[in-house]
Structure 1
Amino acid sequence: MSLLDELPGAETDTAGADIPQSAKPVSRTRLVFSRLRGMPRFWVGVVGLGAIALWAIFGLVPNAWNYTDLDIYNMGSSPSSLHWFGTSDIGEDIYAQTIVGLRKSLIIGLLVGPLAAIIAGIVGAVAGYLGGWWDRVLVWFIDLLLVLPSLFLFILLSPIFKSLSWVALIFLLAGFGWMIMARVIRAQTRSLRERDFIKAARFMGVDTWTIIRRHILPNVSSLLIIDATLGVGGAILSETTLSFFGFGIQAPDVSLGTLLAAGQSAAATRPWLFIFPAAILVFTVLSASLIGDALRDAVDPTSGANRD
């Protein structure tokens, strides 16, 4: 008996190689999280977005002003101990309005991103797995939406949505934000349907929708999670752009886009009307983008190797 045979926790195979008993295969989820732990930009994004979310929830607690209040004695005043971000031309508290606008923009972004990813996953998986005329029709529909100028359609539909709640804007943004990822999911599904575990499920009589739900979608879930995370920042920017030009959130509702639109004309003379909402927008979108970028590199290390 050799010395290696006496070591605890070790076995020797027929070729003489040592195989530790404690060695276990690492799951994909644990591997992704282990990669994320070593990415500083992921933690910067998580801390930043978490701080923004907490500020949006609790930021009004220490403030004495509501976003609809008017201080007629301090109209157009600069930041002070009374009004931390200053006031508008009619005495509105910019700090309170920024928090309320941030809440609205965050809600829209956090709902549009996952909703668009869900649509992309379902449409892409159905087209890729079923093939045939299902694939041709769905791909034609995806290509049609991709070539349509979405901003022009938003402008045309804005009179309809002005009479509706801002919740309608969530479905409008999600309806035009899923096509590219749907094509990616379709390509992945066409590859997955030829795998042995999919063929085995099909030969065992498992119906199509169960295969898509239990086997296809879980195997492309990492792509959908990345798309949903990156979609949060994109949706916030889209909502801000539409509201800035008057086609998104409408008064008396407030969003970061409406605040930027109201303050851009006075950016040179009263910069606090523009700078504070703009800085919050940049910080929020950057934090969400850092998280999505880190997730993408953790799932596929070749997409951005050694960037940290």
Structure 2
Amino acid sequence: MANDNLNQSETAEAHLDLDPKDEAVADSVLAQESEAISDSNKEEGEFKRTGRMTLYVRRFMRRPSAVFGLVLLLVLIFFALFGSKLGKYRYDDIDFAALASAPNADHWLGTTSGGSDMYAMIVHGLGRSLIIGIVSSIGTTILAAIIGTSIAFFQGWFERVGMWLLDMLLVVPSFLLIAMMVRSSSGMSGWIWLIFGLVVFGWIGYARVLRTLTLSLRELDYVRAAKFMGVGSFTIILRHLVPNLGSVLIINTVLGVVGAVGSETSLSFLGLGIKAPDTSLGTLLNDGQSVILTAPWVLIFPSIVLIMLTFSVQLIGDGLRDAIDPYSRSAGKAQ
């Protein structure tokens, strides 16, 4: 109590010794500082941190070629989904009065030598190629991500056996096996077997790449901490390792569509892929190469659509790579 009284008396004496003008100035300065602190806190409270996905979208949209590729791909998807509503014929309709007919008012893109409407066949073929490319690319990415990260995570004998299996699978003639699977199928199920074959044999090389990237991730502190806390191995793989490879997975999934469409086109062009009555861009190219002199539109129009598809996806992939890569300056500043 004595100390409190002494402090209060010293404070009172100091207050009495202060010049009234100086006291007014001090109060004014304190009021200004208090207001400045309040404004600063208010501004900090209103500050919103830019999310990662928002940052990626902004960087992607700053690249004109990527935006053009996205718009072009959306137009092609819209054409594949609703283009059949505009035409007069279905892809399996045959007009015997117009065999190998040039483009005209009735058949906008002409007809094949068998009388099928080229417009309707391109719409259906584009949709089939898109389905095969997108589904097989997603399936390949999922398999490669899980198997590749698992091989790197478990280490020891599991990693040695896993790498040995990957090396053995790389020498398997996948192109030939996929062709045999599709050829042995019947009817309209050929495209399903083609997707299955592309997924089963398409993840192997990709898994090796992801395994190499995971070697550095498995040594990080949060992975070690999760192991120490008893978190399950597959939980760590699915929650920590695979998401941290997200940028690589997204880019390779998009670019994988081009590879899958190319594989489907190659097989169908050689007569080893999609079979009639179903059709794809590859089968249309196969039909067109035999009549290129007499009916060039059978080859030209599917070729243009295929080039547009692969070109748009390639532009999107380049844009995503530049948007996600923190060291890329091609998309401008982050903010």
TM-score by length of 2: 0.82
> Which residue in 2 is equivalent to 1:203?
228
Cα separation, 2, equivalents of 1:223 and 1:213: 15
User: Would you tell me which structure has more helix in proportion to its own residues?
Assistant: 2
Q: How does 1:196-235 map to 2 (within 5 A)?
A: 196-235=221-260
The two structures, once aligned, show a CA RMSD in angstroms of: 2.4
Cα separation, 1, equivalents of 2:145 and 2:237: 10
* Equivalent in 121, 143, 153 of residue 97 of structure 1: 121
Cα separation, 2, equivalents of 1:247 and 1:293: 31
* Equivalent in 174, 180, 205 of residue 150 of structure 1: 174
Pairwise CA distance, 1:74: 1.5
Cα separation, 2, equivalents of 1:70 and 1:159: 25
1:63 matched to 2:87: yes
Q: How does 1:228-243 map to 2 (within 5 A)?
A: 228-243=253-268
Cα separation, 1, equivalents of 2:223 and 2:242: 12
* Equivalent in 244, 255, 262 of residue 269 of structure 2: 244
Cα separation, 1, equivalents of 2:105 and 2:223: 64
Pairwise CA distance, 1:110: 1.1
Cα separation, 2, equivalents of 1:298 and 1:195: 25
1:195-214 CA distance string (max 9 Å, x none): 12112211111111111111
Question: Is the contact made by 2:59 and 2:331 (CA closer than 8 Å) also made in structure 1?
Answer: no
Q: How does 1:126-137 map to 2 (within 5 A)?
A: 126-137=150-161
Pairwise CA distance, 1:155: 4.1
> Which residue in 1 is equivalent to 2:36?
6
* Equivalent in 219, 230, 242 of residue 194 of structure 1: 219
Cα separation, 2, equivalents of 1:196 and 1:24: 29
1:79 matched to 2:109: no
Secondary structure, counterpart of 2:308 in structure 1: helix
> Which residue in 1 is equivalent to 2:22?
none
Cα separation, 1, equivalents of 2:172 and 2:329: 35
* Equivalent in 118, 122, 133 of residue 146 of structure 2: 122
> Which residue in 2 is equivalent to 1:178?
203
Number of aligned pairs?
300
Pairwise CA distance, 1:301: 4.6
Q: How does 1:3-82 map to 2 (within 5 A)?
A: 6=36, 9-10=39-40, 25-82=49-106
Cα separation, 1, equivalents of 2:217 and 2:39: 38
Change (3 A) 1:140 1:34: same
Cα separation, 2, equivalents of 1:107 and 1:41: 24
* Fraction of identical pairs, as percent: 42
1:179-218 CA distance string (max 9 Å, x none): 3332232122221222121122111111111111111111
Cα separation, 1, equivalents of 2:168 and 2:140: 17
Cα separation, 2, equivalents of 1:7 and 1:120: 53
Cα separation, 1, equivalents of 2:324 and 2:209: 15
Secondary structure, counterpart of 1:282 in structure 2: helix
Q: Which moved more, 1:138-147 or 1:36-45?
A: 138-147
1:256 matched to 2:284: no
Q: Which moved more, 1:148-157 or 1:172-181?
A: 148-157
> Which residue in 1 is equivalent to 2:312?
287
Q: Which amino acid aligns with 2:216?
A: S
Question: Is the contact made by 1:98 and 1:277 (CA closer than 8 Å) also made in structure 2?
Answer: yes
Pairwise CA distance, 1:34: 2.0
Q: Which amino acid aligns with 2:263?
A: S
Q: Which amino acid aligns with 1:242?
A: L
Structure 1: gaps (5+ residues): 12-18
Pairwise CA distance, 1:232: 0.9
1:12-53 CA distance string (max 9 Å, x none): xxxxxxx96655554432322221121112211111111101
> Which residue in 2 is equivalent to 1:15?
none
Change (3 A) 1:307 1:146: farther
Pairwise CA distance, 1:240: 0.7
TM-score by length of 1: 0.89
Cα separation, 1, equivalents of 2:181 and 2:174: 10
Structure 2: gaps (5+ residues): 1-28
Cα separation, 2, equivalents of 1:75 and 1:240: 25
Question: Is the contact made by 1:161 and 1:169 (CA closer than 8 Å) also made in structure 2?
Answer: no
